[in-house]
Amino acid sequence: MNTLPLTLGRVLPAPTTLQRSGMRWLVPDGAHCRAGDVVAYCNVGVRGGDALLKSSLAGEQRDWQIALALTVPGVLRRGAGASRGGFLDQMQYYDTWREDEAIGTLELDAATVVPAAAFDPLIFAGHRALDIAEVRTGLFTGWHDRARAWWGGTGAPFGTLACLGICEQRNIIRGESGAFLELFAAVQGPAHVVHYPDDALVPAAPILLDQIARTPAQQQAIVEDIARSFGAGPAVPGGRDFMMLGALVNALVRSPLTESLAVTAPTAVTTADHPDAILLSILSESSLLLRHKRLGYWMQIHGYRLGETGPAFHAWLRANFEQVRRSLTDVARDLGMLVDAVRARGTTQVLVLNAVSTLGTEQVQCYAPFPRPLGKTLGTVRARETNAMLHDLSRSHGIRIVDGDALAAEFGARQHIPDRVHSSGVLQQATRDEIVRILHEGDVPGFVPRQREHRAGTR
């Protein structure tokens, strides 16, 4: 039986020095693993070396991790001392990353050819919503307003997918653990995936358009206006109000679809200036948005988030923002303008996750008692009208629809998506596979589907 040393390999170009914590294992000693299985990870950091890399990772240095995926199958044997436990497995400056260091061995299956490298490194970079939001308890844990991952073992051209939606999209992209493992197990790579959560600001099309077009002077004007106006009413803001406001300001004055992001490889550090593809959620497009009365910028916050803020926050919103209702015609116009704007910057594929329109349990026998338009009162009718609008956009603007509605009908909506928003792991996996299929058909680099043996619980 051949035995393969599990050496770390090179992940950054010389002469950059990479520091690391002890290893944390994700599989038990003696486990039989498949090619592509992520078996261990550590926290990493840069000391000295490449100044461009350090500046490119600004805001991400504290939450930078590398996970190690096997390139071939076999039985894993952990090396003694690879894990030290406690803070030594959490603090990124415990040890130096040495490419020839072995953290264990792999007993290869009989027919397996010895590979050139034991691991494909999967690199995670999290931009914290707050600097003090430090969570080092596991693989890619913490509160991030931008979370991304990429295969870091090759310098081949990579494709970037930027994901902006609401909660129904989060677990489709980030998977059960929140670390993108299922998505990266489904593609051969090299792929770069970026997820922007909706914790503070819901990414409706008018908001994304504002962010693309906004100048630094306009960003500063927003910050200064909020600094002057927040807390100016009779109610005194509490700590939770200030934390919500800080996250909201940070979200408002950035532009997810135009920011440059560093992607590392063993031979070079490359900058992704724009995503090759973006994934949106139609559920981000509310019929009611907020618009600033003086500066004119758009804002959307989840209602349940607003319910968690105090009187001072609500008073600030009432004094400074007006409510604007949007028809489906307005939504179609805004999405069309967004597609045109990102295509002008080089994004080739725009995917939109549609709405689940029914649970199959509707008991409406007559629609006559309901006021017109029906979509204003009945959510299932609005969902069908919205999906029809997306089909019109697919013809006029070439968007690609991720048909979650059809998948829910196939798997059973009552069982797998009972509230028409939050889906089961099985349905999320099916949707993830559909996204990968569309990206591959659209020639987005790095998103070739990986042929793998599926474990129980997957489609």
Q: Is the pLDDT of residue 155 over 80?
A: no
Q: Are residues 132 and 209 in the same domain?
A: no
Work out the mean pLDDT of the chain and round it to a whole number.
Answer: 91
Q: Per the domain annotation, does 278 fall within a domain?
A: yes
Q: Are residues 384 and 260 in the same domain?
A: yes
Q: Is the pLDDT of residue 454 over 60?
A: no
For residues 135-152, average pLDDT: 94
Q: Are residues 269 and 380 in the same domain?
A: yes
More confident of the two residues 49 and 456:
49
- State pLDDT tens for residues 91-114: 988 899 999 999 999 999 888 889
Q: Which residue, of 107, 137, 167, is where some domain finishes? A: 137
Specify whether the CB–CB gap between 135 and 248 falls below 8 A: no
Q: Are residues 95 and 209 in the same domain?
A: no
Predicted local confidence at residue 245, as pLDDT: 96
Q: How confident is the model at residue 458 (pLDDT cuts 50, 70, 90)?
A: very low
Predicted local confidence at residue 380, as pLDDT: 78
Q: Per the domain annotation, does 320 fall within a domain?
A: no
Q: How confident is the model at residue 391 (pLDDT cuts 50, 70, 90)?
A: very high
Q: Are residues 87 and 209 in the same domain?
A: no
| Alpha carbon distance 415, 113 (integer Å) | 43
For residues 320-346, average pLDDT: 97
Q: Are residues 118 and 9 in the same domain?
A: yes
Using CA atoms of 260, 265, 266, 268 in order, give the dihedral in degrees to the nearest 10. -30
Report percent pLDDT > 70 for the chain: 93
Predicted local confidence at residue 251, as pLDDT: 95
- State pLDDT tens for residues 50-98: 566 666 677 888 899 999 999 999 999 999 999 999 999 999 888 999 9
Q: How confident is the model at residue 219 (pLDDT cuts 50, 70, 90)?
A: very high
Q: Which residue, of 137, 164, 184, is where some domain finishes? A: 137
Domain that holds residue 269: 205-214+255-287+326-441
Q: Is the pLDDT of residue 129 over 70?
A: yes
Q: Per the domain annotation, does 149 fall within a domain?
A: no
Q: Per the domain annotation, does 164 fall within a domain?
A: no
Q: Are residues 106 and 26 in the same domain?
A: yes
Q: Could you write out the three-class secondary structure of 68-129?
A: EEECCCEEEEECCCCCCCHHHHCCCCCEECCCCCEEEEEEECCCCCCCCCCEEEEEEEEEEC
- State pLDDT tens for residues 343-365: 999 999 999 999 998 766 666 76
Predicted local confidence at residue 13, as pLDDT: 85
- State pLDDT tens for residues 250-274: 999 999 999 999 898 888 888 899 9
Number of independent structural domains in the chain: 2
Specify whether the CB–CB gap between 351 and 435 falls below 8 A: yes
pTM of this structure? 0.93
Predicted local confidence at residue 199, as pLDDT: 94
Q: Are residues 279 and 406 in the same domain?
A: yes
Q: Is the pLDDT of residue 456 over 50?
A: no
For residues 399-419, average pLDDT: 93
Q: Are residues 270 and 371 in the same domain?
A: yes
Q: Per the domain annotation, does 103 fall within a domain?
A: yes
CA separation (Å) from 192 to 273, 308, 321, 369, 419?
Answer: 12, 34, 37, 51, 31
Q: Are residues 209 and 128 in the same domain?
A: no
Q: Are residues 410 and 261 in the same domain?
A: yes
Q: 330: which residues sit within 8 A by CB, 6+ positions away?
A: none
CATH number for the domain harbouring residue 398: 3.40.50.1110
Predicted local confidence at residue 15, as pLDDT: 79
| Alpha carbon distance 449, 433 (integer Å) | 8
Predicted local confidence at residue 46, as pLDDT: 83
Q: How confident is the model at residue 459 (pLDDT cuts 50, 70, 90)?
A: very low
- State pLDDT tens for residues 261-318: 989 888 888 889 999 999 999 999 999 999 999 999 999 999 999 999 999 999 999 9
Predicted local confidence at residue 61, as pLDDT: 83
Q: Per the domain annotation, does 190 fall within a domain?
A: no
Q: How confident is the model at residue 366 (pLDDT cuts 50, 70, 90)?
A: confident
Q: How confident is the model at residue 144 (pLDDT cuts 50, 70, 90)?
A: very high
Structure tokens at 105: 């061995």
For residues 221-237, average pLDDT: 94
Q: Per the domain annotation, does 344 fall within a domain?
A: yes
Q: Is the pLDDT of residue 194 over 50?
A: yes
| Alpha carbon distance 361, 42 (integer Å) | 48
Q: Are residues 8 and 103 in the same domain?
A: yes
Q: Is the pLDDT of residue 43 over 80?
A: yes
CA separation (Å) from 415 to 177, 193, 412?
Answer: 22, 29, 6
Q: Per the domain annotation, does 234 fall within a domain?
A: no
